Every structure is written in C-alpha cells, then in structure tokens.
Amino acid sequence: MSRSNKVPRIPISLSYRMENYETAIMKLIGDIKTGLNKNHPILGKIRVVQVSHGGITRQVSEPTVVDTAMEHYTTNVLVDAGIYRTTNVDEFVRVIYKIFEDFNEDAVKQLFNVVSRTTNAVGNVIDSRFKNIWDAQIEMLKTMEISFDQDGNHDLCLYVHPDTLKTLQSIAPTDEQKLKIDEILNAKREEFNAKKRSRRLS
C-alpha cells in the first residue's frame, strides 16, 4: 500500500475586479451626468424620462408620422491608470467632464434634429426668409403652446443660429410689433390659466 505526500491541488480563481468599487464608480459617473445635464443651458430645461426599451419612439402620429430611434453615442478618452493609483481627483474630473462634454454635444444635435422633424411634421415651421424677423416671431408665437408660472411669467427660451441672432440685434421691433407680441402673450396667458382652472374643476 503506497502513500502519497502530495498536497491535493485545489483550483483557485483569482479575480482582480473590485465589484464594489466598480459599482460605486458607475453610480458616481451617473450622478455626475445627471448634475451636468441639469446645469446645461439647453438639456437642463428638458424633462428626463427613463425608458426601458431601445426601439422606435413615435413622436408624431398625424398628419405625418415621425418615428425616432434611440441614439447610441460613443466617445474616445485616453485615461492614464495612474490617476486611480494616485487618486488624482483633478485629472479624474477632467476625464469625466470631457466624456460628458462630448456626449452632451451629440445629445443637443439629436434634440434639435428631433424638434426640427416634429415641428415640420405638424406644420409649425415659419419660413422667415422673406419676412421681417419680428413679424416671423409673431407668427411663431401664435402657433406655440406656452406655459406660465404663478407670477404670470412665460417659460419661453429662444435658440437661434448665430446669423439669426445678428439679424435680431440689428433690427429693433417697431412699437406695433411690440404691442402685437404683448397681445399674443396676454392671450396665451389667459388660455393657460383657463385650462389650469378647468383641470382643477374636473
């Protein structure tokens, strides 16, 4: 009867992943994204709704159908592993900021693309090429649904091409145009308040 002095070999699985650390980092990055978006001059004004699908979203049903797909954004950032070893907070912040600066640039482009397609589909586009710029704005205001706060202030924000901004700054509205804008806003305010009262009663 022979006897072996060999120690039985037990397979050992070594993992260099730190799951708790990775989870914490992903949560931190998500919180940073949320914070940066809230403070973004454009994205911060958009209500965020989380969805669990990755397919098609119908933006407009009629008169023209507009479907949009979820966009996949990518960016390339060179990260030195030393920032983790040395806990270089400043460099880590720079890397994360660069990532979301790229993502937000793509998100804004997609936002204006969707807005352009949907407004075209429902007929809310005003062609200002052959109009006075302020007359075009008056026409635009007529087509818009406007919200107001409890003090009666509207929530309008105007985003224009730099060339359009130069035109707006170079041509002042006439007294008649100013009066027309005020009349439209007052009518929109009354309409908004009337709808708010009807919702409370129903």
Strand partners, 60: 66
What total of structural domains would you count in the chain? 2
Distance CA(114)–CA(182), nearest Å, equals 29
Residue 112 covered by a domain: yes
Domain boundary among 122, 150, 178: 122
Residues 161 and 114 in one domain: no
DSSP 52: S
Domain boundary among 97, 122, 147: 122
Residue 14 covered by a domain: no
Burial class from Cβ neighbours inside 10 Å (0-12, 13-18, 19+) for residue 13 reads exposed
Residues 36 and 91 in one domain: yes
Residue 4 covered by a domain: no
Q: CB–CB of 133/171 below 8 Å?
A: yes
Distance CA(193)–CA(181), nearest Å, equals 18
State the residue for tokens 């001059």: 41
Residues 41 and 94 in one domain: yes
Which residues are within 8 A (CB) of 69 and not within 5 positions of it... i.e. 6 or more apart? 55, 56, 57
Question: pLDDT tens digits for 55-107?
Answer: 788 888 888 888 888 777 788 877 788 887 888 888 888 888 888 888 888 88
Distance CA(39)–CA(34), nearest Å, equals 9
Residues 151 and 75 in one domain: no
Whether the predicted pLDDT of 3 surpasses 70? no
Q: Which domain holds residue 35?
A: 22-47+55-122
Question: pLDDT tens digits for 112-137?
Answer: 888 888 888 888 888 888 889 899 99
Residues 32 and 101 in one domain: yes
Residues 31 and 109 in one domain: yes
pTM: 0.66
Residue 88 covered by a domain: yes
The torsion region of residue 156 among left (phi > 0), alpha (psi -120 to 50) and beta comes to: beta
